[in-house]
Structure 1
């Protein structure tokens, strides 16, 4: 695909390749990826090893039409962790999230690789909050773009609520998704599976369902293709606490798959 030709294959520890793969696998259309750091030499991604583990995904020209684009800033691990400033970027220089203002045909924005190397430290939390706040402001300013936010990994339902309060958003231009999903690890890692932020997969579902529900309507009760498990199985009571405050829950139902779930009203 075009993505692998430009950015390489699946990389151990990174979420971007899996997010793009999950996006197309769930019905995504055109996808813009912005690189946040230029390097002289890329590391070996061992694409051949990953290819042996990978199932075929939809190519860009095979993806069905829908939302015009999902945009996912990619974290490049070479040279050390990226800063919030690098993620946010500059409008005039066409870098980072801010640089995406130049593309008027983009509808959806997500940034899963902000959690690359996330260790839960105060500094890491602050970086994620700054970037997510910038994503929200970016979409609010443009008024035609929508941000999909992820919670950090390994959160209980109460901790997910606390994270939402920490980011402290009140907007119709963003939605938060929880918990992380388990997928097949297609890199050269000895592990056969890994957990990752769900936003890349979910944004594909937005594309898949927008013709039926309209632009920026949250996909309700839709199966997340490629997800095999969840970090935590939520109860109905936990979901009833999280949904009203803007945390969209993903739940597993025996025989019905893993779904972005909205309870009946």
Structure 2
């Protein structure tokens, strides 16, 4: 209590005895896979598709955006945002030690072909900028200009009375000058600046590749136009920034996907991010394309182990590509054999248009990203307690296989959630089961509801740590949990006509005997009755006779 010595009016702020528990977010996905650009082995928070394109797009081939041949990460993230997903985390796998900065220096023809590839030398870190410009011709250069033997076209011009060889037609920035043009190339890396002048496309000491590779300490140049005629090897002028490309950058390995917790790489690196609730690894299916089906099971098992260890997220698994309904059922039971309440499996693959073909040809992609978007959309519109099923998949044209009702009967009982096409109702998710054999955890929404309740209570009661362990603390914890669960019940997430039927909270001397109090523990016992989805809606219809009056 403060001491009041001077007459006057004083205002005291008294802490509230009620400390409400706020619900945590339930719809934050994490994606691990391949991308043509962006940070390597670093989980980046992405808010929308535009940010993803800007962060993980291909700097060497800007027209491709974040899409790359044989990879599914960009398709999954696009499907996630397009189906209602909010923020997510994206980890681009790769070997960081082999990461190098590269930039494509295009031909002057403007047709997208490369003249040279600029590559940062070992030990050169940070942004590197390369600028190439055409030097103005001088009298000396004109006097010493090499004159090539006239072609058939030149001889025809001579026959018409021309006294000099006709000017050769170059392309792009060097039109009219061909190999006789000279260029200046400037390289800037931090405070270091290199400048090379008098460069040409002709062979010899002044050749742009020869001179730069011999003298530059910042970059090397690869000649990407050596197979073209000399007159067509004219580079475009402009300024280019080297983008990071990871080694080969095109190959998926189980080790790269699994990653490491300590180094914050791959799946393991996501353990440090508490807000993640869904895990997707679409490029895992590239291992199947390489014939490594055993590794598919191994990495999916690691995904499940990661989610079970975190106990606050679920793995969205893709079924292997190309398996018919009978085959996927056998694979799930006899090969995979997963039994986990923290994982869900979806079948079959979905068909979208391939952006690399200009949207002209269809391609099959794993459905995990689109499914994650559906989970997020269902959470935002209905709540985490609603089973994320009977929802339309957007940005999907077709399915790899059309599953019939009889075929799904065999798959559904084994925890395989089918994606089906219905006449006049679109393509929909038609299953909401986990891969658990325990009936208590059969449904996805039940598992995710418990994740939500557990995380919300844990985060909302951090204030209680190191408080005096007495009846007042017990009552405060009970009131906080009761108020939170009452709001949860009112949202329709708990079964029961009254709060007393939907849940109970107990925190008293019975749950906190003296030995636990002496050990520094306080225990709150909570029981909830989650709502289960109406998976089978049955109408019993019969005939009845009208009795005569």
Q: TM-score range by the shorter chain?
A: 0.7 to 0.9
Partner of 1:2: 51
Q: How far off its partner does 1:191 sit?
A: 5.0
Return 5+ residue gaps in structure 1 as ranges.
50-75
Counterpart-to-counterpart distance in 1, 2:386 and 2:268: 24
What is the RMSD computed on CA atoms of the aligned residues?
A: 2.3
Aligned partners of 1:185 and 1:192 also within 8 Å? yes
Q: How far off its partner does 1:225 sit?
A: 0.1
Change (3 A) 1:89 1:216: farther
Partner of 2:304: 136
Counterpart-to-counterpart distance in 2, 1:43 and 1:233: 44
Quick one: which of 155, 162, 181 aligns to 2:350? 181
Counterpart-to-counterpart distance in 1, 2:385 and 2:280: 14
Q: Does 1:204 align with 2:373?
A: yes
Change (3 A) 1:220 1:239: same
Q: Secondary structure at the match of 1:171?
A: coil
Q: How far off its partner does 1:215 sit?
A: 3.2
Counterpart-to-counterpart distance in 2, 1:218 and 1:175: 12
Change (3 A) 1:5 1:106: same
Change (3 A) 1:149 1:42: farther
Hey, which of these two has a bigger chunk of strand by percent? Answer: 2
Q: Does 1:156 align with 2:324?
A: yes
Residues 1-265 of structure 1 correspond to what in structure 2 (within 5 A)?
1-8=50-57, 9=65, 10-37=67-94, 38=96, 39-41=99-101, 78-79=248-249, 81-116=251-286, 118-119=288-289, 121=291, 124-165=292-333, 166-188=335-357, 192-211=361-380, 214-215=383-384, 218-262=387-431, 264-265=536-537
Counterpart-to-counterpart distance in 2, 1:98 and 1:14: 21
Change (3 A) 1:12 1:81: closer
Q: Secondary structure at the match of 2:77?
A: helix
Q: How far off its partner does 1:126 sit?
A: 1.1
Q: Secondary structure at the match of 2:296?
A: helix
Aligned partners of 1:19 and 1:199 also within 8 Å? yes
Counterpart-to-counterpart distance in 1, 2:413 and 2:303: 21
Number of residue pairs aligned between Structure 1 and Structure 2: 233
Counterpart-to-counterpart distance in 1, 2:101 and 2:387: 40
Q: Secondary structure at the match of 1:227?
A: coil
Using CA pairs below 8 Å that are at least 6 residues apart, which structure has the higher relative contact order? Answer: 1
Aligned partners of 2:76 and 2:282 also within 8 Å? yes
Normalized against structure 1, the TM-score is what? 0.81
